[in-house]
Structure formats: C-alpha cells, structure tokens
Structure 1
Amino acid sequence: MTGFDDWLNRRLEECAQQAGENVVTYVARAVASRMVTDDRRADSASIEELMAHLANSAAFAETAMPSTSATITDPDRLRALYATGLLDSAPEEIYDRITRAAAAALDAPSAAVSLVDVDRQFFKSTVGMNVDTPEERQTPLDRSVCQYAVANGAPLIIEDARTHPIFKNHPAVLDGTLVAYLGIPLSDSDDNAIGTLCVFDDKPRLWGTGHVQILSDLALLAAERIFGPGAGPQG
C-alpha cells in the first residue's frame, strides 16, 4: 500500500489473511467502516445514501452467521410477542426510564428495548440512537444482535465483537456500528423471549458480573411491565 513501509505492508497482508480476505477487500472494508462511522458521528443526512452505495458495491459482503430461525419463528414465541401489542407502538416514558437507567448505570452511550419479530427488529425505547421517524425505529433482522440473545434465552455478553469468532462477521460490527454489547432477554413466565434490554458501545468494554446483574434487574422490571408479575426467569 502506498505510504506503508515494507513492515507495514507485510503486517497488512497478515491481518487480511487472518480475516480470510485479500488485501484489497480488507482495506476496502476498513475504509468503508470508517466512512460510515464518520458519517454517523457527524449525523450526516447522506448516511442512508452511503449505506445504499456500499451495499450495492458489496463492501460489506454478507458473511455466514448462525441461524436463529428455529427460535425466532417459533409460534409460541411469536404469539407472546404479538399479544403484547408493542410492535409499532409509540414510545412510552416507562420504557424510556428503563433504557435511560440502563445507559447511566452501565456508562454506555446506547441502550434499547428491542422486540424481535420474524423479519425485523423494532425498538420500543432507545437511548443514544437516531430514531426520529417510525422507519428509523426498526431494522431488518440481519442487522439485529439482539436476536441471538433471544435465540439463546440467556444474557449475551460481547466485549469486543471485532475479535469475536462469530460476531466479527455481523453486519453491524463490520460497518463499525457496534463493538461491545450486553443484552438480557425479555421473557414471559413460559420462557418465551420476545426481545431484549441491551446496552452497546462503539468501543470495547469489559462487562463484569455487576453490569450483568444491574441490566438483568432492569430487564426484569421491563418484563414485568410487559407481561405482568411472574415474568422472567423462574426459580
């Protein structure tokens, strides 16, 4: 690469090889990620156009992620989700208080109450995200990290997704949106997880047991608000 000495070029080749890519693809993806990050930080109106062009150019080519289909499309889970009436509903202060508390308690720039539908992720409440319109309050399912917490029915703890053997391939990680993530499933008394209370960061984080406990307690409050007393893990 122009401007790199021999050592840096050798190191670049090694990094690309470790990522399973050639140097051109590795550099293009890195540059694309930086462009997206800079546009997001500048709150640029062109971010959607940029993402569309990057998608058309396959800068973030899809990579294999584990399938969550069996759990996400489970009829009992979907009935529990739809029965809440929360999909496409307006923001509510009770949930906003919970996400604000989660972001503040864990010193995280972003937090959300997410609901995972069969083909999309809907945000009932957010902190630190640009979700001013109904369209911005949802993402396609392939952009969801929360679906994996829902599928596993357990806390999902990611300290640096860029080096995670699975999540380094996730679209939200590849484009720089998410580096660290902590999500707790929101479950009814029958263990149907409909979404998560999550926090995330665009830099690595060390999540301790105290962080998990605090977020779990707040998630239980959210689940009790959604399903009533008795929601969440039993016993």
Structure 2
Amino acid sequence: MTDFSPAELARLREIAALDLVEPIEDPQLQTLVERAARELDLPIAALSIVLDSSQLFMASTGLGSWLDEVQGTPVEWSFCRHAVASKTPFQVDDAEQHELVAHNPLVTHDGVRSYLGIPLITAKEEAVGALCVIGTCPREFSTGDVARLQTIAEAVAERLEARRAATA
C-alpha cells in the first residue's frame, strides 16, 4: 500500500465523496468541456479527475486516437496533476520547451504542444482535478484566456459539487 500524506488522503477522500472514481455521463459537464474548447479556440478540452495512479477523463472533446478510447492516462503523464498539486492554473505555451513535460509521451508521441489547466476546487477546498484545453501547436495563453477557462472551471466545480448532494 502506498503511503499518502494527510493532504493527499483528504483530496482522495473528497474524490470518493463526490463519487468521481469511475467515468460518469453528464451532458452538462460535456457541454461545459465543449464550451472550453470553443471559447479558447483549441481542438481538445477535457475534465480530468486526478486519482492516485491515473487521471480519468470525465468529459472530453477532440481527444481522438487511443486517448478517446481509454479516457485517461497514468498519473505520471498527467499535465493536470501540476494544476492539482499547486491549486493554481498550469500553463504550457510550448510543451517541447517546458522542463516539466518535454519528455512526456503525450508530447513526444501524441503531439501535445500547448496546455492550459485550471484546478477544480471543491467547497472543502480540495483540488480534485482540472479543466484543461490542449493544442497541437505552441500557443501563448493570455490573461483573458486564463480568466475565460477559470469561469468555465468554476461552473464545472459547481456541477461536480452537486454530486455530493445527490449521493448524500
């Protein structure tokens, strides 16, 4: 068994309390993810829940290939884990040049070149995942881009929070 810090245990318990350990079908979440891709004019967007050993895509658009089929990745490949760990936006303008992700298989084999992820913070102040947009070309994200994605991420977090009431 892996030893988790008290903070990580609290985060994982929050994921369980919101019943986010398996894929869910939620048309409202899907609509918000599609809105993120459209508003930021990028081909890919996803709602990622970062578990202990993997990230799970609860909703996505534009993933294509094997990612669309498996709906997740090992946590080591997750860009979203950086937003979750810091509880702040994680921005990658050029993945091939970014020290944290340049050697990531999603960059070297799958063509990820730009990424912006906003952590999904619950009412209990836990970051359970991220709403992200992904590009296949380098891109400099503006403060307006971050603000637009933040607004959509807040709506996603509210929708996830509604699951707590539904499971209570």
User: TM class by shorter-chain length?
Assistant: 0.7 to 0.9
Amino acid of the residue matched to residue 169 of structure 1?
A: H
The answer to whether 1:223 aligns with 2:154 is no
The answer to whether 1:100 aligns with 2:34 is yes
Question: What's 2:64 paired with?
Answer: 130
CA, structure 1 residues 71+106, in 2 after alignment: closer, same or farther (shift >3 Å)? Answer: farther
Residues matched between the structures, number: 160
Superposed CA offset, 1:50-88 (max 9, x none): xxxxxxxxxxxxxxxxxxx96797110001111111221
Q: CA deviation at 1:163?
A: 1.0
Amino acid of the residue matched to residue 180 of structure 1?
A: S
- SS in structure 2 at match of 1:169: coil
Identity of aligned residues (%): 32
Matching of residues 47-196 of structure 1 within 5 Å:
74-130=8-64, 136-196=70-130
Runs of 4+ in 1 over 2 A off after TM superposition: 69-73, 130-135
Higher relative contact order (CA 8 A, sep 6+): 2
> Hey, what's the Cα distance between the residues in 2 that align with 1:197 and 1:72?
24
Q: 1:204 aligns with which of 120, 124, 138?
A: 138
> Hey, what's the Cα distance between the residues in 2 that align with 1:196 and 1:70?
20
Superposed CA offset, 1:193-226 (max 9, x none): 0000000011101100110000000000000111
CA RMSD of aligned residues (A): 2.3
> Hey, what's the Cα distance between the residues in 1 that align with 2:100 and 2:63?
25
> Hey, what's the Cα distance between the residues in 2 that align with 1:94 and 1:226?
10
> Hey, what's the Cα distance between the residues in 1 that align with 2:6 and 2:130?
13
- SS in structure 1 at match of 2:102: helix
> Hey, what's the Cα distance between the residues in 1 that align with 2:106 and 2:88?
21
**Structure 1 unmatched ranges of 5 or more:** 1-68, 229-235
> Hey, what's the Cα distance between the residues in 2 that align with 1:134 and 1:203?
20
**Structure 2 unmatched ranges of 5 or more:** 163-168
State whether residues 142 and 171 of structure 1, in contact with CA within 8 Å, keep that contact through their aligned partners in structure 2.
no
**Structure ranking higher in strand proportion:** 2
